[in-house]
Amino acid sequence: MSTRPAILVEDVSVRFRPYVDRKPTLRRSLGRLRHREQEEVIALDGVSFRVAKGEAYGIIGRNGAGKSTLLRCIAGTLRPNSGKVVVNGKLSTLLQLGVGFNPELSGHRNIYLGALAAGLRKKEIDQIFDDIVEYADLGSAIDRPVKTYSSGMFSKLAFSVSMHLDPDVLLLDEVLAVGDVAFRAKSMKTMQELLDKSGTIVFVSHSLESVEGFCDRVLWLQDGRVMAEGDSVEVVGLYKEAATGSTKNA
């Protein structure tokens, strides 16, 4: 059992066919990879890696490198054109903050909506509801419509919901820097606890310091291909080198 990796990604490729007259959501997610002349856009090209249980795994790369597409494949919402993705364990995704939330409704109501969207039953949410509220630490604002929240408050609530889903595998997309200093420290501690329980965290971030400090291993993606993978300090170092090199050229 313990030898099975938490996440196995094998030779995954994703191609998109962007149309000019479509809503820009797709194009935004592809970022700079977009070329209108090009019929097909390759978002991921033969990506392989595995993440062990209890490991914190970082994914870095420029905008449009395919990071979010990769997370969507792991989350199972996007079917790769080829390749295999296997996730062992219960998955909680925090690809974007507050997924399933309805801004017109109260924080209270949104805790239920968010957790139901993630796959919990109402009975289960009843049991963890007080913990979620306490962790989010929003005081009486929990009964106000979420649209009145500041972005920090919103993040706290969303993060609290995700952490209480008791996941084995947590996917985070650029959502580490949430809330104030105190909340950030608290969220770091919670994630460490998850790792200690041999949970797994995959996170995408542009904050190289937090990737370096928090992750055991890092994957560097560029134009949908793996540039480097391995020890976090090493890979982040390589990435920094390349990044400063390209700004000098530009």
Partner 1 sequence: MTLPAPAPIYYSKRLRLYLSDLWSRREFVWFLAIGNFKARNASTALGLFWWVLNPLLLSLVYYLVFGVLFDVGRDIIYLMAGMFVFHFTSQSLTGGANAVLQNSKLLANLRFPRIILPIANLIEATLGFLVSLGVLLVIAMLAGLPGLRDLEWSSGLPGPGFFLLLIIIPLQLMFNLGLAAIAARLAVPFRDINNFIPYLNRIWLYLSPIIWPLSFLDDRPVMGRFAEWNPMFALISVYRTALINYEFQPRMLLYSAVWSLVVFVVGVGLFVRYEGNIVRHL
Residues 6+ apart with CB under 8 A from 138: 107, 149, 153, 156, 157
Q: Based on the shown chain and the rule CB under 8 A, indicate whether residue 190 belongs to the binding site for partner 1.
A: no
Nearer CB in complex with partner 1: 103/245: 103
Among 120, 161, 176, 194, binds partner 1 (CB under 8 A): 120
When binding is defined by CB under 8 A, the residue of 5, 45, 54, 95 that contacts partner 1 is 95
- φ and ψ at residue 96, rounded to 5 degrees: -130, 150
List, in order, residues 6 or more apart from 88 with CB less than 8 Å away. Answer: 4, 5, 6, 7, 53, 168, 169
Core vs surface per residue 138-161: b (16+ CB within 10 A) or e: beebbebebeebeeebbbbbbbbb
Q: Cα separation of 221 and 70, whole Å?
A: 10
Q: Which two tokens stand for residue 183?
A: 């909340």
Q: Min. distance of Cβ 109 from partner 1 in angstroms?
A: 7
Least CB distance to partner 1 at residue 240 (A): 30
Start-end of H helices in 138-231: 151-163, 181-196, 208-214
213 binds partner 1 (CB under 8 A): no
Q: Which stretch binds partner 1 (CB under 8 A): 17-25, 56-64, 152-160, 204-212?
A: 17-25
Binding mask 142-181 for partner 1 (x = CB under 8 A): ---x-------------------xxx--------------
Q: Is 131 in the site for partner 1 (CB under 8 A)?
A: no
Rule CB under 8 A: say whether 6 interacts with partner 1: no
Shortest distance in whole angstroms from residue 123 CB to partner 1: 9
CA dihedral 182, 183, 185, 186 (to 10 degrees): 120
Pick the closer one to partner 1 by CB: 23 or 248.
Answer: 23
Is 108 a residue that touches partner 1 (CB under 8 A)? no
Angle at CA of residue 92, ends 85 and 177, nearest 5° = 110
Query: CA angle at residue 177 from 225 to 66, to 5 degrees?
Result: 15
Residue 95 beta carbon to partner 1: minimum distance, rounded to whole angstroms: 5
Q: Is 105 in the site for partner 1 (CB under 8 A)?
A: yes
Least spacing, CB of residue 69 vs partner 1, in Å? 10
Interacting stretch for partner 1, rule CB under 8 A, among 80-88, 135-143, 184-192, 219-227? Answer: 80-88
Is the CB of residue 141 less than 8 Å from the CB of residue 152? no
| Smallest gap from residue 22 Cβ to partner 1 (A) | 6
